[in-house]
Structure formats: structure tokens, C-alpha cells
Amino acid sequence: MYSDKVLEHFTNPRNVGEIPDADGIGKVGNPVCGDVMFIYIKVKDDIITDIKFKTLGCGAAIATSSMITEMAKGKTLEEARKISRGDVAEALEGLPPQKMHCSNLAADGLKAAIEDYENKKKQQT
Ligand code: FES
């Protein structure tokens, strides 16, 4: 039911944890199941230099979080913002249809972290 890539990211998730001095933090909840995800980013010159996640959720949510951190690291904020739930699912070689909603968490979490960073930056100027 799950692709090898999903299982691999689930059993060996990348970039798990917290960034204590994060520049932006995104917290999103999935209304379908109640699962929660936090994404932390460090930003320098508009590039995501570090990213970590904590996910209280299902295997698909953990695999999609892990994958999106790999996809976003080193990207500009503009590029990272464009990563869609479909892109994440595709990079994981597909998700079962009943699990597609889980990939929303990762894409929305990353966008929320970028927004948080931008709001904080505006407040400083
Ligand atoms: Fe909740 Fe997958 S079942 S995110």
C-alpha cells in the first residue's frame, strides 16, 4: 500500500527535531484526523539554510514532513513556497488516496513557517 520511499522516510526520517533559535515556526493541524505538525526554519539571504520538523501524526505525515524538509533545504523562500502537496506526494512515489490529506500538513506547515518568518521580519523593520 505504501511506496518504498514512504516506508524509507517513515523508518528513517530526516531533519527531525526543533531549532531553538528558529527564524520561522509553522504549526498546523489536520482537521481530518487531529494530527499536528511543527516546522522550524533558519533563513539567511532569503534561503532556507536549516529546517527541522516535529510531527505528532501518522506514518504518512511523518514521511511527508521528512520529504518536504529535504526538498526545501537550500531553496529560496520563493521556491520553497511553491512546493505543493502534490509535489511532496510525487517525490514519495505516491501516497494511497485515503492518505493524500496527510500531505497537506507538510505543505501547509512549510508555508506557515515562511509566513511566520516574513511577519517577524516586517515587525523588525
Ligand atoms: Fe493524520 Fe495522516 S492521519 S496526518
pLDDT at 24 over 80: yes
Contact, 110 vs 26, CB < 8 A? yes
Mutate to test the pocket of ligand 1, among 38, 58, 67, 95 (most ligand atoms within 8 A of CB): 58
Cα–chain center distance at 35: 14
- Which has more confidence, 41 or 1? 41
Domains of the chain (ranges; CATH) run 4-118 (3.90.1010.10)
> Rounded to the nearest 5°, which phi and psi values hold at 67?
-65, -40
Q: Is the CB of 77 under 6 A from ligand 1?
A: no
Q: Tell me: the pLDDT tens digits for 63-107?
A: 999 999 999 999 999 999 999 999 999 999 999 999 988 888 999
pLDDT band at 32 (very low <50, low <70, confident <90, very high): confident
- Per-residue pLDDT tens for 44-61? 999 999 999 999 999 999
| pLDDT at 30 (0 to 100) | 87
Enzyme catalytic residues: 33, 102
Nearest CA to ligand 1 atom 4: 102
Q: By CB neighbour count within 10 A (0-12 exposed, 13-18 middle, 19+ buried), where does 12 fall?
A: exposed
